Structure 1
Amino acid sequence: MSTQSRAVLLESFGGPEVLGVREVPAPEAGPGQIRVRVTAAGLNPMDWFMTSDDETAARFGLSLPSGFGTDYAGVVDQVGDGATGFAVGDRVFGGAVSRAIADHVVLDLAATIATGSAVHHTPDGVDDRTAATLAIAGSTAAAALAVVEPGPGDTVLIGGAGGGVGVFTVQLARLAGARVIGTGSATSAEALRSLGAEPVAYGDGLAERVRTLGVTAAIDLFGTDTVRTAREIGVPDARITTIAGQVDGIRSANGANAAPGALEEVARLVADGRLRVPIAATFPIDEIRAAVELQAGRHVHGKVVVDL
């Protein structure tokens, strides 16, 4: 049984330069908990946003020293008293808010991602790197789609479609039968086409570029520009949502509020080969700063994963 664990820890809040790998005592699973030997951790914008400064960290209930990262995948290596549904050796994935990038994480089976942690069985056919990308992005995409409810006959405008959440949102909308128009940079056009979206350049003039495309719903994955465009071309507020901005009259989507079973369904689609998760880059834990710098640049096409 491991007694030591590597973990990414912050002694101060800030940018990638404050991230460091430390050796710490391995946590132990208590009653109703399991411990996971983490093999891979996926990065999300929320990871570096939450720890970017003292004020933001406080809003999320974080204090120093703080861990880092949320999405993980690995293998159960310890089961606490009264913990049921999981056994040593089970492959699992999920979220451990601001502490996932570590050799070991302890998960409370009674918790949810909204309260700090979640754990799910990894389906056969899904490797750990891919499983480590699912929790935040998959749940957020599912929650956004539940707001606008796309289906056959719909044309969905997705802003920021080339990002980590966009990978899932585009494909899930297509699986629902909708046509997808995805905004992005010129360099993301081919990646968007490969996911099933029709690319369109973001920025000034977007409304004119999409006005004649018959857009019936919109999802803004980056800010609020897509919301404004959707309103300008006549999409009703009830069929517009955003994940990264607040707009009066628009219902926002949050992965923590995804419907029960939504993430498991995403994982099943991946296992069945119906949903593809492009891994843009992988880094060893010792290169955490470089990994976060790449992900925070917001120009990577696909997910960034840290191997442990």
Structure 2
Amino acid sequence: MKKVSFAEFGGPDVLRLIDAEEPHAGPGRIRVAVRAAGVNPVDWRIREGQMRPALPAALPSGVGLDAAGVVDEVGEGVEGVHVGDRVFGEGVDTYAEFAVLHAWARMPAGLSFEEAAGYPSVMETALRILRESGMRPGQNLLVSGASGGVGSAVLQIARERGITVIGTAGAANQEYLRSMGAHATTYDEGWAERIRAFIEVDAALDLAGAGVVRELAELTGDPAKVISIADPTAPDLGARFSHVAGSMPDALEETVRLIGEGKLHIPVEKSYTLAEAASAHTDSQAGHTRGRRVIVV
């Protein structure tokens, strides 16, 4: 099969499309013929070696955690899923023609493979940091870097829960944030003053790692009310860094529910082929994403 791999840590140029042995579904696992794979910041952070030792990668290593596809092998002990089912979920080395998943759910009706591949890690992260924030209905949440995949999910989940959200993003994504139910402002000079004059902030999320943790702590009045998923140095300022994943099965179940009720939609900004994985990582690292990026197989 074809698979994206890297033999050394480094920039996008270390990614190679290679011929590899097909994986097979062991006990408690399923294998899918991958139709699309999600592109997440954690993918290129692993490739660069940033995630060691939390997520050690034995070289050479494959790439990718999220996928949507058609089940073609069911491992021992697995029930409720059959060959031919359309599923999405989390596994390993998903930038490939076949991948093994350890968490999955049936795709909601009407959802394309391309759309489905963009949800798993994004929704797990969004649900986790909202839970860690302790936000309640009627409170005000500030989201820095709100137009990407996780931000898009946070905005819609918070809206469903009765939480008011103020999101920062580039000028081109202001209307996008408003369409998700958020108050929007740019992150150019004076952004913190604008927010302070507009609303009292109960908690803040740093999704982009843009060096704003100190300002977010000032806006909340307490650095412990700030959670970052992109700045490992956040604890140096008293904020929290969230990197321990929660329950993927629960996240997939909530994803299916929200999509089924018409309360969740994360657009796919751009699709790439397996051979274009390096370009996908380059674009992801550049930021300014609106929604998700995916690899189409």
TM-score (norm 2): 0.89
Q: Which residue of 2 aligns with 1:105?
A: 99
- Cα distance in structure 2, aligned partners of 1:174 and 1:258: 22
Indicate whether 1:265 and 2:258 are aligned.
Answer: no
Three-state SS of the structure 2 residue aligned to 1:257 is coil
Distance 1:209 1:134, change over 3 A: same
CA RMSD across the alignment: 2.2
- Cα distance in structure 1, aligned partners of 2:178 and 2:244: 25
Q: Which residue of 2 aligns with 1:159?
A: 144
- Cα distance in structure 1, aligned partners of 2:99 and 2:68: 10
Structure 1 spans left out of the alignment, 5+ residues: 108-116
Q: Which amino acid aligns with 2:235?
A: V
Distance 1:25 1:260, change over 3 A: closer
Q: Which amino acid aligns with 1:93?
A: F
Match of 2:109 among 124, 142, 150: 124
- Cα distance in structure 2, aligned partners of 1:268 and 1:102: 28
Q: Which residue of 2 aligns with 1:81?
A: 76
Indicate whether 1:69 and 2:55 are aligned.
Answer: no
- The structural deviation recorded for 1:237 is 4.7
- The structural deviation recorded for 1:224 is 7.0
Deviates more, 1:17-26 or 1:137-146: 17-26
Indicate whether 1:285 and 2:274 are aligned.
Answer: yes
Match of 2:45 among 21, 44, 49: 49
- CA-to-partner distance for each residue in 1:236-279, whole Å, 9 max, x for gaps? 45543222233254343346125862331123212332111111
- CA-to-partner distance for each residue in 1:37-59, whole Å, 9 max, x for gaps? 11100101110111114x75555
- Cα distance in structure 2, aligned partners of 1:58 and 1:254: 12
Indicate whether 1:206 and 2:200 are aligned.
Answer: no
Match of 2:91 among 96, 107, 111: 96
Indicate whether 1:144 and 2:167 are aligned.
Answer: no
Q: Which residue of 1 aligns with 2:206?
A: 220
- The structural deviation recorded for 1:182 is 0.5
Q: Which residue of 1 aligns with 2:239?
A: 250
Three-state SS of the structure 1 residue aligned to 2:61 is coil
CA contact (8 A) 1:74 1:91 kept: yes
Distance 1:257 1:33, change over 3 A: closer
- Cα distance in structure 2, aligned partners of 1:290 and 1:302: 17
Deviates more, 1:132-141 or 1:22-31: 22-31
Distance 1:80 1:147, change over 3 A: closer
Three-state SS of the structure 2 residue aligned to 1:92 is strand
Identity %, equivalent residues: 40
Q: How many residues align?
A: 293
